[in-house]
Amino acid sequence: MAALKLLEMQRHSLLMYTSCGWFFDELSGLETVQVLQYAGRSLQLAGELGGDSLEPGFLERLERAASNLPEHRDGRDIYEKFVRPAMLDLQKVGAHYAVSSLFEKYEDRTELFAYEVRRDDFRLLHSGESRLAVGRATIASLVTRESEAVTFGVLHLGDHNVSGGIRGFRGEEAYHAAVGEIAGVFQGGNLPESLRAVDRIFGGNAYSLKFLFRDHLRKVLRMLLETSEGEALSAYRRIYELNAPLMRFLSDVGYPIPRSFFLAAELAIGAGLRRAFEAEEPDLERIRRLLEEAAFSGIPLDEKGLAYALAKTVEGMAQRLRVIPSDLSRLRHLDAVVEMGRALPFPVTFWKTQNLFYGMLQSDYPKFLQWAADGDASAAAWVRQFTSLGEKLSIRVAQE
């Protein structure tokens, strides 16, 4: 294990000299922070191997390098902000696993980047909207082969409120006693005491959502925001629908619409359009109605966001059509959606759909054209609709 750590330390020492990290105009830039993280990992491994700590001398040298940005001061400050928090050890990996287990299902054996988690016991308990995850697992590095058995307990009290702890495994008896104590007060509905029990059992090793790996944190936050944002948008939609007739009247007589009404309308219509554009099979009548409401009330639209959403939806429709090219109703709907997209008050780029259409033009169109020539009425209807779609995508379909 020591030999593997030495090799890993050498690898990060080499990575530290990655050339792009040393050609910079600002010390806090992405590339420079990355090479500092390589250096930090080398220092971390050196410390674990029992040598004299090299970090103090390294930080003294970094302190001499000034940042161009006052808020970052110097290299030492940048190291403390961006490098030290990124350092991982087995317990931090275990903390990530414990917190994320509240939001995703794991198998008994899971790989997390360069680590493996072998779960020995896991229990997920519910009390109203709150959840408690308790368990024990063995965290192992796939690089250095070091491992540690840990126990954990994490409470989710709703929204972003997550609190938990982790400690080394102290035997079956201590583990079952800890689980029994935390689970008992939690299932009794005493959330404050549950928090105190977690703090008492795990001491100072407390963790929250902030300890999730960055990609997982974004995923969890999206999940949490989806519910909260949905509730907020529903409230704005109710406000808008209640006051929409009044807003139309005010607009008609040239009287200024109150800012609160205007913001509610902007959020409600914008969110409605985005959902309609992102639907697998867009409702064209609903989209037209929302666009008319936005135009009548003078609501600004997120043109770039909506254009991107519609382009992705049309691309998905074209991909499904290519799987079953004979689906005439799907072809008609795609044609209608593209036509609507071309009529929007902002440009939408359909280049990926154009590529898919061209592929069908080469592979599927000749067959349908031949069947139409042989007297197949449905094939003839397909050729006409396909040609119509080609015109809207600015691709000429020759009918020879």
Tell me: the pLDDT tens digits for 36-51?
999 999 998 888 888 7
CB burial of residue 354 (10 Å; 0-12, 13-18, 19+): middle
Whole-prediction pTM value? 0.67
- pLDDT given at position 400: 59
What's the order of all strands across the beta sheet hosting 162-168?
A: 109-112, 115-127, 130-141, 147-156, 162-168, 206-207
Question: Which SS3 state, helix, strand or coil, does residue 153 take?
Answer: strand
Residues 129, 158: contact at Cβ < 8 Å?
A: yes
Out of 242, 274, 301, pick the residue that ends a domain: 301
CB burial of residue 135 (10 Å; 0-12, 13-18, 19+): buried
With 90 as the cut, is the pLDDT of residue 11 above it? yes
Q: Per 3-state DSSP, what percentage of the chain is helix, strand, and coil (rounded to 5)?
A: 60, 10, 25
- Over residues 52-58, the mean pLDDT reads 86
Q: Within this chain, do residues 99 and 200 fall inside the same structural domain, yes or no?
A: yes
Give the Cα separation of 50 and 38 in Å (integer): 19
Which residues share a beta bridge with 100? Answer: none
- Over residues 331-360, the mean pLDDT reads 94
Q: Within this chain, do residues 280 and 169 fall inside the same structural domain, yes or no?
A: no
Out of 271, 301, 331, pick the residue that ends a domain: 301
Give me the number of domains the chain comprises. 4
AA identity, residue 263: L
Q: Within this chain, do residues 220 and 208 fall inside the same structural domain, yes or no?
A: no
Q: Within this chain, do residues 108 and 198 fall inside the same structural domain, yes or no?
A: yes
Which pLDDT tens digit goes with each residue over 354-374?
Answer: 999 999 999 999 999 999 999
Q: Which helix (H) or strand (E) holds 263?
A: helix 259-278
With 80 as the cut, is the pLDDT of residue 108 above it? yes
Which residues share a beta bridge with 151? Answer: 136, 167
Out of 41, 59, 86, pick the residue that ends a domain: 86
With 80 as the cut, is the pLDDT of residue 224 above it? no
Q: Of residues 306 and 104, which shows the higher confidence score?
A: 306
- pLDDT given at position 363: 93
Q: Within this chain, do residues 345 and 382 fall inside the same structural domain, yes or no?
A: yes
Residue 227 is part of which domain span?
A: 213-301
Which pLDDT tens digit goes with each residue over 245-254?
Answer: 888 888 888 8
Which pLDDT tens digit goes with each residue over 185-204?
Answer: 888 888 888 888 888 888 76
If pLDDT is split at 50, 70 and 90, which confidence band does 308 have?
very high
Q: Which helix (H) or strand (E) holds 304?
A: helix 303-323
> Encoding tokens for residue 47?
């410390």
